[in-house]
Amino acid sequence: MYELGTVELIQRLSIALAIGLLIGLERGWNTRDEHEGERAAGLRTHGLAALLGGVWGAIAEHFGGGGAIALAIAFALFGAVIGFFRYRETVRLNTFGATTLVAVLLAFALGAFAVVGDQQAAAAAAVATTTLLALKQLLHGWVQRLTWPELRSGLLLLAMSFILPPVLPDHPIDRWGAINPFELWLLTVLIGVLSFAGYVAVKIVGYRRGVAVAGMAGGLASSTAATVAMSRLVADYPRQVNVLTAGAIFANAVMGPRVLTVLGLVNGDLAMRLAAPLIAIGLVYTLGGALLMMRRASDGAGANETLAIRNPLDLPAVLKFSALLATVMVLSRIATRFAGSKGVFALAALSGIADVDAISLALARQGVGEIGLESAAVAILLAIVSNTIVKAGIGWFIGGWAMGLRFTLVSVLALGAGVAALMTAPAFGL
């Protein structure tokens, strides 16, 4: 037991009152159209509830262990009284809901915690509480749009992140020392998180909010898949070739920053070496997409189409990427051991046909030590070039010559800017 000084006690009670007013502000605004006396708890009630909790917290501190029991009894009695008033309100309105009751109880509890515990933690909890209350419509709308495969994917991501890693061996298990199951799975989770974020962005934004935003969001999930989707739309709506090609270009504009993010989380030195070329590639793609957007056709055909991106966290997709990453890591180690940087360049060009992330992670994790920073940077750019050639081919064969020509032209300029940046970056100390 310790005694609070007068100044500190007043400060803590003030924080308790502020916590209650913060929560009560949202509750009061939400029920602002109701007449006085028709709601169980508003701005003043939440403020007073938190202040009451703070006072009982001060009492608990003064009387030690017995005070803690008194605080628990006070909380129970207060909850019973508020619960009774909330019950009468729901009967009168013929509704159901426990949110307001929980909010008042949280105000009381956080007010007490502000006095007897960590003030910053109590304030942070109050902000989180108010945020959850204010996001009611958004959260309910998101739950209504949530599909079972998406929920399953979210649970899979949690299992991947917290359940499986502790049971995986944290040491190489192959003869070349390339595959560490623990690190391999963490890298798989990293890509899964980035891809799922892009997938969620596509679901939230959609095509109707703008091809540019939807294309960039789709690029976070899979720039190849987004290019295929835009190419199919061009085939159906050829008069929209400029805006839809711009969508594919915007999807590729985020490929550089995406790779840079992955490298930054795994190998900061390699990320710094590639920062200039990857940013240059992204900027040229963005500029090219913006110029095509300015030339968009007046015909609105296709404006209601959906940018369809496959859920990247389906279990088969996760296992396929993990297998691809493991294969690339083994081949990368073998290539560097027997063929040096030339072998890695060939491997990067081949693996880039299917995926850029796998070779980037493999080189960031183990390739730099074998072939050096410069060779690893060149290999990753080769993978990006290879992947871009594949997407240009998709544009030509699915979207037609008009899309293929536009996409290829912008891609050549973007890759040229990246190569130039790689060659000149050392002059700037990168």
Q: How far apart are the first and last CA of the chain?
A: 57
Domain boundaries, the chain: 6-141, 147-428
Per-residue pLDDT at 247: 84
**Half-sphere exposure in the Cβ direction for 300 (13 Å, CA):** 4
| Dist. CA 334–CA 325, nearest whole Å | 14
Per-residue pLDDT at 205: 59
DSSP 35: P
User: What residues have CB less than 8 Å from 242, skipping those under 6 apart?
Assistant: 292, 293, 295, 296, 297, 406
pLDDT tens track for 221-269: 667 777 877 787 788 778 878 888 888 899 889 888 888 888 888 888 8
Q: Is the pLDDT of residue 142 over 70?
A: no
pLDDT tens track for 380-415: 888 889 889 888 988 898 888 889 899 999 999 999
Least confidently predicted of 106-110, 122-126, 137-141, 402-406: 137-141
Is-contact 123 15, C-beta < 8 A?
yes
Residues in the chain: 430
The pLDDT confidence band at residue 354, using thresholds 50, 70 and 90, is low
User: What residues have CB less than 8 Å from 413, skipping those under 6 apart?
Assistant: 284, 288
Q: Is the pLDDT of residue 84 over 80?
A: yes
The pLDDT confidence band at residue 53, using thresholds 50, 70 and 90, is very high
pLDDT tens track for 292-312: 888 754 444 444 444 555 565
266-297 core/surface letters (b: 16 or more CB in 10 A; e: else): bbeebbbbbbbbbbbbbbbbbbbbeebbeebe
The DSSP H or E segment spanning 137 is: helix 136-145
